[in-house]
Structure 1
Amino acid sequence: MRGGEKCLEVFCEIFPEADLFTLLHVPGSVSPVIEGRRVVTSFLQRFPGVERRYRHLLPLMPAAVRLLGLGGYDFILSSSHCVAKAARGGPGAYHLCYCYTPMRYAWSAYEAYFGGDRLRGAARWVVPPVMKALRRWDAGTSAGVGEFIAISHTVAGRIRSCYGREAEVIYPPVDTDLYHPAGEPGDYYLLVSAFAPYKRVDLAAEAFTRLGRPLKVAGTGQDFERVRALGGPNVEFLGWQDDAALARLYAGCRAFVFPGEEDFGITPLEAQACGRPVIAYGAGGALETVVGLNPEEVTFPAGFQPPAGEEPTGLFFTRPDAEGLAQAVLRFEAEEAKFRPEAARRQALRFGRERFKEQARRRFVEGFERHQEKTAARRTGDR
């Protein structure tokens, strides 16, 4: 499961009787906790081959989420990175949005998905106005959300910029039982990622090909073949790996590589839970999850206070290209003795699953109670 689905699993545990609505669902793709729910899908589910072509349906998603039929509910919890926050309940319903990011394709990652020469033919003329309309729609529907919770201060800043709204931060959980130190690490570096443009897996393939250092890359996605062509014989592409295999890969790596700018990024925490240091691009969520050896070289997001006096668990690089990453790897190797497995593990434990579950439960209850009090006060004032 991806990070958002792991959060959803916890939400299902907090609300064991709640119904689950989603635009699309591929049976067997998520945990039994989620699969065991009554899952209601949108009309998009009826499109042939939708599990492979869902990105092409993006222009239809606003209509699909509005037609989910939530009018009989008085509490809506949306788990949203695209259009779920546009869901509407009945009159006076309370809508709390746990937001992974404002619509990535339209806002923060527009250039990564559609910039440069990525648009060919008619798409060059069709995509820009469609994305502009989606941005306008996305900003407008934010008014229907009662309160936002962001997965990071980085995302809270985007919510403020895109929607003009404030958001409390509750960090997603890492499974510190599954991911734990195991034996002595090997000599390979590791990258675990979907092969999407903004993940910058290509940057890592190029950097490690230049360095000649062994790199293992786990994951699949739309950019897989393009990126694989960039890697030399020292770069091993493993494809999809299950959780148990990932745990072994994390525990055995020399260091974990994180080249993209993420909303939060669960994989650096999974690596740290296994006691391994992280070499991360100094932007986005990694600034909030990795204790950098070089904090003076980066700019932290508004609202986030970097920990003082903590042992480093990683190294940031600020030049967003293959040469910048290559130089960071060499710097890491020169200062490798400064990174202790115990420090990395301790950092990951701050993001444990029970912590997330308790914070989320408390915030959901408080938010709904506050909404009920405001509703009662309005009714009293109308008499």
Structure 2
Amino acid sequence: MHYMRRDELATITRLRPHRRTSGQTPPALADRSARLAIVHDWCPNFRGGERVLARICKLFPNAEVFTLFDFLPKDIKEQYFHDVAFHSSVANRLPLVQKYYRSLFFLCPFLIEQFDVTGYDAVISSSAAFARGVLTRPDQPHLCYVHSPIRYAWDEQFSYLAQGRLGFGPKGLLFRYMLHNLRTWDTRTAHGPDLMLANSSYVRSRIQRIYGREAEVVFPPVALDELEFIACKDDYYVTASFLAPYKRTDLVIRAFNEMPSRRLVVVGEGQQSQSLRGMASSNVSFTGYLPRQEYVRTVARAQAMVFAGCEDFGIALAEAQACGTPLIVFGRGGARDIVQPFGEAEHPTGILFGIQSVESLKEAIHIFEQNQPAIKSQACRSNADRFSEGRFDLAILKALAVAQAAHFRR
């Protein structure tokens, strides 16, 4: 694998190793042949976090994965995790656990601490919740790639409680108390890793505010070679995500309900699938889950991808850019790292709107249509080069070397 492209090296120059001691110099890049434990919260399906996990496994062929719950299909394992050993928690064997594993969040800190990773050369945790809390040796390098601090335990607590209709009755109070305990555990384990990486500037700011730690931004890897570039677009818009409340697909559908002359294609399944189908007008169609190749073609042919949620990064947005598809997205969260906004950038790749409302989204679509010639497909594709897999590989190898250097100098 070739790692020395100048533009990719430039993305990691801020990750400096510790000062040399005793005349010895730590390595610039980590050893890819090292035996690593990679700890990932859970693997319910193959989405953004699991794509990051797969790339790290490819980077370190001797790595083994530890995850609380593993529901990945065999074909996904064969394609992305060939010959990778997976270790799951005892709770993974509970009857029908795939239907209620998220409700076991209060047990997850205990379960993650039962993984014995002390025999490995180093640990990389891929964490949006619990993986960072794995128990390591005092002399064992630990690099943490943070997808997000625990959303539902911190700034999103009240919206999650509202969605679950958990007020201040007995059940609501119990959940609030469990979330309080989770925040205590989360804060206590925040200083375990030697180094933290954030998947976006937005997550970096949350890490600073919640944990009081600095983190470097390393964007998730986008498989550019898998993504078809199409400059000639069809006449529809697309939105694609897991259909959960915080993705705000409902807002996108309501906006298109009020614009019957425009077509919207909704890609994905999730807990809101039935209710969203029930509220949609005839100009809104649903594809459900699509195989990878068909998904890429659907996104690549759309005149724009529309997204109204606040993502920590939003790998689907970066993939859309790689397909040459402009973005019309809520201007908060990881989207600000992805989009080159119209009206600000020399080569714009999309529109950011500032308020999560139907009117704000409709206005953004109107601005896009008025200025569509200025937002070129080739500019979108070029913008996506910043998220290449090679750039991600270099950053991880450099960061793990930094984490190892923290022990090297002791």
Fold equivalence (TM over 0.5):
yes
Query: Alignment partner for residue 188 of structure 1, among 236, 245, 251?
Result: 236
Structure 1 Cα separation of the partners of residues 272 and 401 of structure 2: 41
Structure 2 Cα separation of the partners of residues 254 and 27 of structure 1: 32
Compute the displacement of 1:90 (Å).
Answer: 2.4
1:156/1:167 contact within 8 Å kept: yes
Matched, 1:54 2:91: no
Q: What letter corresponds to residue 362 of structure 1 in structure 2? A: K
Query: Alignment partner for residue 213 of structure 2, among 151, 158, 165?
Result: 165
Structure 2 Cα separation of the partners of residues 20 and 231 of structure 1: 41
Q: What letter corresponds to residue 247 of structure 1 in structure 2? A: V
Query: Alignment partner for residue 203 of structure 1, among 237, 246, 251?
Result: 251
Matched, 1:156 2:192: no
Compute the displacement of 1:20 (Å).
Answer: 1.2
Structure 1 Cα separation of the partners of residues 77 and 348 of structure 2: 34
1:250/1:276 contact within 8 Å kept: yes
Matched, 1:323 2:359: yes
Name whichever of 309-318 and 274-283 sits farther off. 309-318
TM-score, normalised by the number of residues in structure 1 = 0.90
Query: What residue is the counterpart of 1:371 in the other structure?
Result: 406
Compute the displacement of 1:373 (Å).
Answer: 2.0
Query: What residue is the counterpart of 2:280 in the other structure?
Result: 231
Compute the displacement of 1:262 (Å).
Answer: 0.6
Matched, 1:289 2:338: yes
Q: What are structure 2's unaligned runs of at least 5 residues?
A: 1-45
Q: How many residues align?
A: 361
1:112/1:197 contact within 8 Å kept: no
With over 3 angstroms needed to count, the CA separation of the structure-2 counterparts of 1:351 and 1:310, relative to structure 1, is farther
Q: Provide the aligned C-alpha RMSD in A.
A: 1.7
Compute the displacement of 1:183 (Å).
Answer: 5.9
2:117/2:135 contact within 8 Å kept: yes
Structure 2 Cα separation of the partners of residues 31 and 270 of structure 1: 22
Structure 2 Cα separation of the partners of residues 146 and 123 of structure 1: 38
Give matches, 1:232-247, under 5 Å.
232-247=281-296
- Return the structure number with greater relative CO, CA threshold 8 A, min gap 6: 2
Query: What residue is the counterpart of 1:342 in the other structure?
Result: 378
Q: What letter corresponds to residue 120 of structure 2 in structure 1? A: Y
Query: What residue is the counterpart of 2:41 in the other structure?
Result: none
1:271/1:277 contact within 8 Å kept: yes
Q: What letter corresponds to residue 234 of structure 1 in structure 2? A: N
1:109/1:198 contact within 8 Å kept: no
With over 3 angstroms needed to count, the CA separation of the structure-2 counterparts of 1:233 and 1:214, relative to structure 1, is same
Compute the displacement of 1:255 (Å).
Answer: 0.6
TM-score, normalised by the number of residues in structure 2 = 0.84
With over 3 angstroms needed to count, the CA separation of the structure-2 counterparts of 1:59 and 1:35, relative to structure 1, is farther
Structure 1 Cα separation of the partners of residues 82 and 229 of structure 2: 30
1:73/1:89 contact within 8 Å kept: no
With over 3 angstroms needed to count, the CA separation of the structure-2 counterparts of 1:311 and 1:31, relative to structure 1, is farther
Give matches, 1:136-147, under 5 Å.
136-147=184-195
Secondary structure of residue in 1 paired with 2:124 = strand
Q: What letter corresponds to residue 154 of structure 1 in structure 2? A: Y
Compute the displacement of 1:91 (Å).
Answer: 3.5
Compute the displacement of 1:180 (Å).
Answer: 2.5
Compute the displacement of 1:119 (Å).
Answer: 2.4
Compute the displacement of 1:116 (Å).
Answer: 6.0
Secondary structure of residue in 2 paired with 1:78 = strand
Query: Alignment partner for residue 359 of structure 1, among 395, 398, 410?
Result: 395
Name whichever of 113-122 and 146-155 sits farther off. 113-122
Name whichever of 229-238 and 68-77 sits farther off. 68-77
Structure 1 Cα separation of the partners of residues 120 and 347 of structure 2: 47
Identity within the alignment, %: 36
Compute the displacement of 1:79 (Å).
Answer: 0.5
With over 3 angstroms needed to count, the CA separation of the structure-2 counterparts of 1:276 and 1:64, relative to structure 1, is same
With over 3 angstroms needed to count, the CA separation of the structure-2 counterparts of 1:155 and 1:183, relative to structure 1, is closer
Compute the displacement of 1:189 (Å).
Answer: 0.4
